């Protein structure tokens, strides 16, 4: 089969999208650089390399970007810095808040393009779901992002910039404790920028977030999965089908790398990292939500040390799919537990502002908010809230 440009079968040249290309004699965006990058860059400008650590500390720890306030730099360097580095962040176009505390941010990526990122609160963590691309090549049938098609792979400064803009807008006393690359785009379709971002976020001189608090999700780009173990971060795999027939129906990537190939890569990941894989499984009414599907799913992943997150489908306009009713969702969950699976029923956070899993996009036909007042899931009874809290606490302890 001949590959079409932009399809999942086409060879990808990542470098063109992800290397900062300032005009000659123009400053480089600071947020595009790892610490090692910055050391090399300022050395090329005739400056001492140790200044890179000082700048990282000022920007990421103190949130100071005015060179005149970087008092441990020489006066000459402070004067030269604006011509060497810029500290531009992607502007926030919109900031929405859900009734459940979830927050969604829309960022301007220039040239009429934008992406969304989501902050998800829970009792003991604040998770940022971050985007890696404008649109997506993977075309998963149940995902709203996939309808947009890939427009651009984000650069490192675009991804780090999402983190910094959200960080700077959190309420006093709040801080991001976890990052999941589960927003718009396929992270392993943009590996250079994603893993450079992880280097920045993890750097002790930068944001200093533990690698174990960072999760990279993939729809199954098998040749790039080694990078997750190499980066020592956690791996989540969007499985979403109990067999090849159903998975290929809802996820075209399965036609390139089938479940056998994908699960072999997952076993290799565990062998190298000793980290359990998280399998994400979306419940689509009448398609992936039957008890037989639960039994097939457990059999499919039985040889992979893993946990399974089941995610009831989150509605979006024109999807063609439906969310199962609560009784079907609970029966599926119970069947997995009875079969001995380590399973978590994921809460659908931010549904009223289209911030839930699979709802992120920037296409214009989607409304900003959705009425969920008639949904039984909008106001859970106390015993269900307590059950969900206990499940989340168990998952956190195991991580």
List the catalytic residues. Answer: 116, 357
Asked if residue 260 lies in contact with residue 225, where contact means CB atoms within 8 angstroms, the answer is no
Euclidean distance between CA atoms 316 and 140, whole angstroms: 14
**Bridge partner residues of 152 (DSSP):** 134
Query: Cβ neighbours of residue 99 under 8 Å, at least 6 residues apart?
Result: 352, 378
Alpha helices in the chain (DSSP H): 15-18, 35-44, 51-56, 75-84, 156-169, 191-202, 226-231, 244-250, 259-273, 291-300, 326-338, 382-398
CB 192 within 8 A of CB 14: yes
Pairing state of beta strands 152-153 and 178-181?
unpaired
Do 130 and 176 touch, CB atoms closer than 8 A?
no
Nearest to 53 by CA among 45, 180, 62: 62
Strands 28-29 and 85-86: parallel
- Give the DSSP letter string of 342-361: -EEE---TTGGGT-STT---
294: exposed, middle or buried (Cβ count in 10 Å: 0-12, 13-18, 19+): buried
């Amino acid at each position: 089969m001949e590959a079409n440009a932009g399809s999942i079968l086409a060879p990808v040249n990542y470098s063109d999208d992800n290397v900062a290309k300032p005009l000659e004699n123009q400053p480089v965006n600071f947020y595009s650089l790892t610490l090692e990058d910055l050391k090399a860059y300022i050395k090329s400008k005739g400056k001492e390399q140790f200044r890179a650590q000082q700048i990282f500390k000022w920007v990421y720890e103190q949130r100071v970007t005015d060179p005149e306030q970087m008092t441990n730099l020489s006066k000459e360097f402070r004067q030269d810095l604006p011509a060497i580095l810029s500290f531009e962040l992607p502007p926030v176009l919109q900031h929405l808040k859900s009734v459940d505390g979830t927050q969604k941010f829309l960022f301007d990526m220039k040239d009429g393009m934008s992406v969304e990122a989501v902050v998800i609160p829970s009792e003991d963590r604040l998770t940022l779901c971050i985007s890696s691309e404008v649109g997506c090549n993977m075309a998963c049938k149940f995902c709203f992002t996939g309808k947009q098609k890939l427009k651009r792979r984000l650069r490192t400064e675009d991804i780090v910039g999402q983190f910094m803009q959200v960080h700077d807008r959190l309420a006093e006393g709040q801080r991001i404790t976890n990052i999941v690359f589960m927003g718009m785009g396929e992270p392993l379709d943009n590996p250079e920028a994603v893993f450079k971002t992880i280097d920045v976020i993890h750097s002790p001189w930068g944001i200093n977030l533990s690698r174990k608090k960072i999760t990279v999700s993939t729809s199954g780009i098998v040749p790039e999965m080694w990078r997750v173990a190499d980066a020592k971060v956690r791996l989540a795999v969007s499985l979403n089908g109990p067999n090849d027939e159903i998975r290929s129906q809802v996820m075209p990537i399965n036609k390139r790398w089938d479940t056998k190939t994908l699960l072999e890569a997952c076993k290799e990941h565990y062998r190298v990292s000793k980290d359990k894989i998280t399998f994400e499984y979306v419940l689509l009414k009448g398609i992936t939500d039957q008890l037989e599907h639960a039994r097939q799913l457990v059999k499919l992943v039985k040889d992979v040390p893993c946990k399974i997150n089941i995610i009831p489908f989150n509605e979006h306009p024109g999807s063609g799919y439906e969310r199962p009713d609560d009784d079907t969702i609970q029966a599926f969950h119970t069947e997995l537990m009875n079969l001995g699976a380590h399973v978590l029923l994921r809460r659908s956070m931010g549904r009223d502002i289209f911030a839930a899993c699979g709802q992120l996009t920037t296409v214009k036909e989607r409304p900003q908010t959705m009425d969920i007042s008639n949904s039984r899931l909008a106001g859970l009874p106390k015993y269900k809230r307590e059950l969900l809290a206990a499940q989340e606490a168990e998952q956190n302890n195991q991580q």
